[in-house]
Amino acid sequence: MNVEIDQSDARSVLRLNEERIDAHNAGELKNSLLNALEDGCRLLIVDLAAVHFIDSSGLGALLSGYKNANLRQARFVLTGLQARVRSMFELTRLHRVFEIAEHVGDVVVNP
Amino acid sequence: MNVEIDQSDARSVLRLNEERIDAHNAGELKNSLLNALEDGCRLLIVDLAAVHFIDSSGLGALLSGYKNANLRQARFVLTGLQARVRSMFELTRLHRVFEIAEHVGDVVVNP
Amino acid sequence: MHKNRFTLDLRVPGRTEYLSLVGSIAECVAQRLDHYRGDREALAFHLNVVVTEAVGNAIRHGLSEHQQSRVRLCIEVRGDELIIEVHDRGQGFDLCSLSEACPDDLDEGGRGLFLMRSLMDSVSYRRTRAGNVLEMRKRLR
Amino acid sequence: MHKNRFTLDLRVPGRTEYLSLVGSIAECVAQRLDHYRGDREALAFHLNVVVTEAVGNAIRHGLSEHQQSRVRLCIEVRGDELIIEVHDRGQGFDLCSLSEACPDDLDEGGRGLFLMRSLMDSVSYRRTRAGNVLEMRKRLR
Ligand SMILES: Nc1ncnc2c1ncn2[C@@H]1O[C@H](COP(=O)(O)OP(=O)(O)O)[C@@H](O)[C@H]1O
Ligand SMILES: Nc1ncnc2c1ncn2[C@@H]1O[C@H](COP(=O)(O)OP(=O)(O)O)[C@@H](O)[C@H]1O
């Protein structure tokens, strides 16, 4: 799994450089998210701008990150959803669960 | 087979509106070419600008048109070859057989 | 592509690295349904999703240790009906006992069949002597 | 996609309307060879060509009237070798008796095998009891 992490005091941005998230790499995504949260960040932004396709196991991996962030009282935000990816959140109603912003720059750090 | 014919006194232009020419539609292409030549045109320009892919049976259909044009002392010119299509002519050395021009407009009508 | 008939019968190893390939093959099929009047891009995406989910399940839940671990995928168009079959050789399961509702917001799993049911007109699962078959149908309008 | 192993086993009806589908499936395979260092676009195009030619021949020359008229295509990667097989059930032919040279300029046919030989490292054709197999190999560098 090709991820890029950009950490600062205020937030970590995890950029997913994969066109496709499915059962083949969802486990790795889950681990990457947990690692990023274990580093103690308060706000984790997961940027999906490169992702064209996500299946239910990819959504499950993101949910696992979201729940882990909640436990640690960290904020978990998704950005850069392409139309097909967004429609997967809508079909499964997970767009109501996640905090979703258009661009990384749109996420206000201390709201 | 989706072809568009634009006829004038000086020349006929047969525009092939198919992305792909293979054994499935090569027979139809051959017939379209023969029909155009039977209409008595002196110069037939076959514009391949829409074609992404051509196989050996497509090349064979064009050769059949070329030979038929020769018999009738008509000129037969190909235009609009995309890179992949051009490479098929080069692999089979047919670029030396056909008269090939870049655009329809490049074909000088009475050379 | 011929108006009313189409069949494709595909076998790939039962490993998740093949999911992207079977998904894109399903997209190829949709792109070639010349006579489909609806949104072909959307259909292609939806077939990618349901095939990925169904083949993913066959790999995760449906592989038997005794058999060569291959998954068989058939895609067929009959008249205006599209039929997708995914064959597995595992223990099988009872589709009717699964709720048709969307799983709870925080459940990590269980959205595969929900998606297949949402995007296709019908989903069924049957056990046969030769193995199990998940069948999904969709009317192409 | 896994570095050194890949297999796909596909059966489609023996009708020319399937050529574009098998060609684009071959392109999909090439696009997914993550470890190929060469020009993947060119490889995809060349696989589209050779698969179209080989399956086209199996349809034109290799269908038997007695058998269900399906064509089987296998694509396999073993180590750094790509192997494509096209199975037919027809009379077969003697590949060795065909000239390897490019056909005469004005011949309308006979360029299929020339293209397969030009774009792949080796092409062979064997008759087995279960039918005939055209095999093409290419080293992936
Ligand atoms: N091919 C199959 N063989 C056996 N069990 C299956 C199969 N497909 C699905 N199931 C069962 O149905 C359940 C729900 O499947 P699904 O909605 O795709 O969610 P998930 O796979 O994420 O659990 C699975 O957890 C599994 O128990
Ligand atoms: N699968 C096959 N079964 C029987 N004969 C074949 C097969 N493939 C090729 N041939 C024979 O080899 C010849 C050369 O094939 P090819 O170079 O592809 O050109 P074409 O198909 O245009 O004649 C064919 O004309 C045919 O006689």
Report pLDDT for C130.
Answer: 86
Buried/exposed code over A45-72 (b: 16+ C-beta within 10 A; e: otherwise): bbbbeebebbbbbbbbbbbbbbebbeee
Domain ranges (residues) in chain B: 3-106
The answer to whether the CB of C133 falls within 8 A of the CB of C87 is: yes
- Touching status, chains B and A (3+ beta-carbon pairs under 8 Å): no
How far apart are the C-alpha atoms of C89 and C97, rounded to whole Å? 20
Report pLDDT for B33.
Answer: 97
First to last CA, chain D: 16
Give the tens place of pLDDT for each residue, A23-69.
Answer: 999 999 999 999 999 988 899 999 999 999 999 999 999 999 999 99
Neighbours of chain D (3+ CB pairs under 8 A): B, C
The answer to whether the CB of D120 falls within 8 A of the CB of D138 is: yes
Question: Where is pLDDT greater, at C37 or C56?
Answer: C56
Ligand 1 site residues (CB inside 6 A) read A 56; C 53, 57-58, 60-62, 88, 90, 92-93, 98, 109-114
Give yes or no for residue B22 having a pLDDT over 80.
yes
Q: D33 pLDDT band (50/70/90 cuts)?
A: confident
Give the tens place of pLDDT for each residue, D90-122.
Answer: 999 999 999 888 888 899 999 999 999 999 999
Q: Is there a contact between D9 and C7 if contact means CB atoms under 8 Å apart?
A: no
Report pLDDT for C1.
Answer: 47
Give the tens place of pLDDT for each residue, B51-86.
Answer: 999 999 999 999 999 999 999 999 999 999 999 999
The strand pairing partners of D13, in sequence order, are D70
- Residue B90 neighbours by CB under 8 Å, 6+ apart: none
Give yes or no for residue C7 having a pLDDT over 60.
yes
Instruction: Look up the ipTM and state it.
Output: 0.83
Best C1, C5, C8, C19 member to test D by mutation, with max D CBs in 10 Å, is: C8
How far apart are the C-alpha atoms of A21 and A27, rounded to whole Å? 10
Nearest CA to D60 out of C107, C6, B55 is that of B55
Neighbours of chain C (3+ CB pairs under 8 A): A, D
What is chain C's Cα-based Rg?
A: 15
CB-based contact, B73 to chain D, within 8 Å = no
CB-based contact, B71 to chain D, within 8 Å = no
CB-based contact, A59 to chain C, within 8 Å = yes
According to DSSP, residue D1 is labeled: -
- Please tell me the pTM assigned to this model: 0.87
Q: B101 pLDDT band (50/70/90 cuts)?
A: very high
Q: Candidates 3.30.750.24, 3.20.20.140, 3.40.50.1970, 3.40.50.970; correct CATH number of B3-106?
A: 3.30.750.24
How far apart are the C-alpha atoms of D23 and D36, rounded to whole Å? 19
**Minimal CA separation from D26 to chain B, in Å:** 14
Report pLDDT for D67.
Answer: 58
CB-based contact, A93 to chain C, within 8 Å = yes
Report pLDDT for D5.
Answer: 67
Q: Please report the beta strands in chain D, taking only residues with DSSP state E, as ranges in sequence order.
A: 5-13, 70-78, 81-88, 122-128, 131-139
The answer to whether the CB of B52 falls within 8 A of the CB of B20 is: yes
Domain ranges (residues) in chain C: 5-139
Residue D131 Ramachandran class (φ > 0 left, ψ -120 to 50 alpha, else beta):
left
The answer to whether the CB of D88 falls within 8 A of the CB of D131 is: yes
Give yes or no for residue A88 having a pLDDT over 90.
yes
Instruction: Compute the distance from residue D75 Cα to the ligand 1 centre, in Å.
Output: 29
Cα-to-chain-centroid distance, residue C133? 10
Q: Candidates 3.30.950.10, 3.40.1830.10, 3.30.565.10, 2.40.30.10; correct CATH number of C5-139?
A: 3.30.565.10
Question: In degrees rounded to 5, what are phi and psi of residue D14?
Answer: -80, 65
In the three-class reduction of DSSP (H, G, I as helix; E, B as strand; rest coil), residue C56 is classed as helix
Q: Is there a contact between D109 and B56 if contact means CB atoms under 8 Å apart?
A: yes
B12-16 and B20-21 strand pairing: unpaired
